């Protein structure tokens, strides 16, 4: 049986042929067809930084009392409690719920940054299985940290990155939580592991001023200088946030091949500031940092916040996500061109009608075909209730 698919013609007469997971110039005879005469073919969206582990938060996560006063308190009292409470069933339910919503919103690739300190070794296989079942493309890593159990915790985090098996839709990255929760040794080991595995490092950088202040207390000029001096940023590495970086920092890191990921809604919600220096390079993709995986909503927030902050350099961030994903999968970066990833969506009147990932139809007429959406939602609600109980113990 051929694995080829022809999407279209759409209302503009456009056709996209996919074979072997990649877009091809011409479909072989006998290819399956997905005609869409009243729709419009477009590239699938890339979410360049998120956290599947927070997927259950939308199901009634109790707010911390009293409210956190700053970014570190948000981490300590919300996300670092949630991540310690995660077990296998709650992580699986969170990932499936989040990924199903992402696909229905036309997101075909997600770059995830995962942490679950009481479930390290088994975590990435759970995420990879959920992604494979639902048919979404992912870049996965465990974000090594020493914040709970010290160096041993970081070693186990890096080991989790090492043991992730790549597949046609999955590539592994080496994750570091952030400069302020790891030692020099862990940073060095992350860089060495990424080079050994032929991949890159995915890390939060200068999200809040606290990350910069921590690096200075350790005797470095800042977190970027520290990561760079300890050889942890091989070309292509993914730096989330960069809110407290200078234009000069951004230019130098981009010249060394780094990607930045802007997460405007998260930055606004956490009140860490607006990442204005990022417009010094075109190597900036868009992420949601655990918010709902709707890239149109994130792009809208970007435009609103860019206008407020007088930032005129934000064009092309969704397109940069395609280039980032293509780089990791060894594909042509121009979406829908021959040699590019076989991922696309069909919209009708702006709404997502069909979603195709690697030549597989995963959403058909607005409905998820790779999973039972109602069941996924019901399981997410049930696991969320359990998780809030566990979280109260941490
Ligand atoms: Zn993040």
pLDDT of residue 394: 84
Cβ–Cβ under 8 Å, residues 239 and 261: yes
Phi, psi of 171 (to 5 degrees): -125, 145
Distance from Cα 266 to the centre of ligand 1, integer Å: 9
Distance from Cα 207 to the centre of ligand 1, integer Å: 9
Distance from Cα 197 to the centre of ligand 1, integer Å: 23
Distance from Cα 63 to the centre of ligand 1, integer Å: 19
Distance from Cα 80 to the centre of ligand 1, integer Å: 12
pLDDT of residue 337: 98
Cβ–Cβ under 8 Å, residues 240 and 276: no
**DSSP states of 184-222 as a string?**
HHHHHHHHHHHHHHT--EEEEESSSHHHHHHHHHTTSS-
Distance from Cα 92 to the centre of ligand 1, integer Å: 19
* Residue 326 CB contacts under 8 Å (≥ 6 apart), including other chains: 332, 333, 340, 341
Distance from Cα 364 to the centre of ligand 1, integer Å: 31
Model confidence over 106-164: pLDDT tens digits? 999 999 999 999 999 999 999 999 999 999 999 999 999 999 999 999 999 999 999 99
Model confidence over 169-192: pLDDT tens digits? 999 999 999 999 999 999 999 999
Distance from Cα 111 to the centre of ligand 1, integer Å: 10
Distance from Cα 74 to the centre of ligand 1, integer Å: 13
Distance from Cα 287 to the centre of ligand 1, integer Å: 9
Model confidence over 343-369: pLDDT tens digits? 999 999 999 999 999 999 999 999 999
Model confidence over 268-293: pLDDT tens digits? 999 999 999 999 999 999 999 999 99
Which residue is it, tokens 């930084």?
A: 49
Distance from Cα 113 to the centre of ligand 1, integer Å: 7
Q: What is the mean pLDDT of residues 242-261?
A: 98
Distance CA 239, CA 285 (A): 10
pTM, to two decimals: 0.97
Going by pLDDT thresholds of 50, 70 and 90, the confidence category of residue 253 is very high
Distance from Cα 71 to the centre of ligand 1, integer Å: 12
Distance from Cα 55 to the centre of ligand 1, integer Å: 13
pLDDT of residue 340: 98
Distance from Cα 202 to the centre of ligand 1, integer Å: 10
Distance from Cα 368 to the centre of ligand 1, integer Å: 27
Confidence check: pLDDT of 201 > 60:
yes
Confidence check: pLDDT of 1 > 80:
no
Phi, psi of 114 (to 5 degrees): -110, 145
pLDDT of residue 258: 98
Confidence check: pLDDT of 336 > 80:
yes
Which residue is it, tokens 């009481």?
A: 118
Confidence check: pLDDT of 91 > 80:
yes
Distance CA 64, CA 77 (A): 7
Task: Select from 320, 355, 336 the least CA-distant residue to 105.
Answer: 355
Phi, psi of 375 (to 5 degrees): -70, -40
Distance from Cα 313 to the centre of ligand 1, integer Å: 22
Q: Are strands 174-178 and 170-172 parallel, antiparallel or unpaired?
A: unpaired
The end-to-end CA distance of the chain, in Å, is 52
Count of C-beta atoms within a 10 Å radius of residue 242: 28
Distance from Cα 377 to the centre of ligand 1, integer Å: 24
The domain limits of the chain are: 45-329
Q: How far is CA 88 from CA 60, 85, 93, 116, 261, in A?
A: 20, 10, 9, 10, 28
Distance from Cα 48 to the centre of ligand 1, integer Å: 10
DSSP code for 277: G
Confidence check: pLDDT of 238 > 70:
yes
Beta bridge partners of 367: 364
Model confidence over 53-85: pLDDT tens digits? 999 999 999 998 889 999 999 999 899 999 999
Give domain 45-329's CATH superfamily.
Metal-dependent hydrolases (3.20.20.140)
pLDDT of residue 90: 98
Question: Any alpha helices (H) in 62-174, and if so which ranges?
Answer: 71-74, 80-85, 88-104, 123-134, 151-163
pLDDT of residue 113: 98
Distance from Cα 303 to the centre of ligand 1, integer Å: 20
Distance CA 104, CA 355 (A): 8
Distance from Cα 308 to the centre of ligand 1, integer Å: 23
pLDDT of residue 65: 86
| Mean pLDDT (the chain, rounded) | 97
Report, in angstroms and rounded to the nearest whole number, the Rg of the chain calculated over CA atoms. 20
Distance from Cα 289 to the centre of ligand 1, integer Å: 5
248-262 in b/e form (b: 16+ CB < 10 A) is ebbebbbeeebbbbb
Distance from Cα 14 to the centre of ligand 1, integer Å: 37
Distance from Cα 186 to the centre of ligand 1, integer Å: 19
Burial of 148 (0-12, 13-18, 19+ CB in 10 A): middle
Count of C-beta atoms within a 10 Å radius of residue 98: 32
């Amino acid at each position: 049986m051929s694995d080829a698919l022809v999407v279209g013609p759409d209302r503009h007469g456009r056709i996209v042929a996919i074979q072997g997971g990649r877009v091809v110039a011409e479909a072989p005879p006998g290819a399956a067809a997905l005609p869409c005469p009243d729709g419009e073919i477009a590239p699938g969206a890339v979410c360049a930084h998120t956290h599947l582990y927070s997927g259950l938060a939308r199901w009634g996560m109790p707010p911390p009392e009293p409210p956190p006063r700053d970014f570190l308190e948000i981490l300590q009292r919300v996300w670092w409690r949630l991540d310690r409470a995660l077990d296998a069933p709650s992580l699986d339910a969170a990932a499936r719920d989040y990924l199903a919503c992402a696909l229905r919103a036309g997101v075909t690739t997600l770059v995830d940054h995962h942490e679950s300190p009481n479930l390290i070794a088994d975590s990435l296989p759970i995420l990879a299985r959920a992604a494979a079942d639902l048919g979404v493309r992912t870049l996965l890593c465990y974000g090594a940290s020493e914040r709970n159990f010290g160096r041993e915790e970081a070693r186990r985090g890096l080991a989790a990155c090492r043991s992730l098996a790549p597949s046609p839709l999955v590539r592994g990255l080496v994750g570091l939580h952030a400069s302020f929760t790891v030692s020099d040794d862990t940073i060095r080991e992350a860089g060495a592991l990424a080079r050994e595995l032929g991949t890159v490092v995915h890390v939060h950088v200068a999200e809040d001023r606290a990350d910069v202040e921590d690096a200075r207390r350790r005797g470095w000029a800042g977190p970027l200088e520290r990561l760079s001096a300890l050889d942890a940023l091989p070309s292509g590495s993914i730096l989330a946030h960069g809110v407290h970086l200078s234009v000069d920092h951004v230019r130098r890191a981009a010249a060394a091949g780094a990607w930045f990921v802007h997460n405007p809604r998260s930055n606004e919600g956490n009140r860490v500031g607006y990442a204005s220096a990022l417009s010094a390079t075109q190597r900036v993709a868009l992420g949601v940092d655990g918010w709902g995986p709707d890239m149109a909503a994130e792009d809208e927030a970007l435009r609103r916040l860019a206008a407020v902050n007088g930032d005129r350099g934000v064009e092309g961030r969704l397109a940069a996500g395609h280039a980032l994903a293509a780089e990791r999968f060894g594909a042509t970066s121009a979406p829908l061109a021959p040699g590019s990833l076989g991922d696309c969506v069909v919209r009708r009147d702006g709404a997502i009608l069909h979603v195709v990932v690697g030549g597989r139809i995963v959403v058909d007429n607005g409905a998820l075909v790779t999973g039972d959406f109602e069941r996924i939602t019901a399981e997410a609600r049930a696991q969320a209730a359990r998780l809030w109980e566990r979280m109260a113990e941490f």
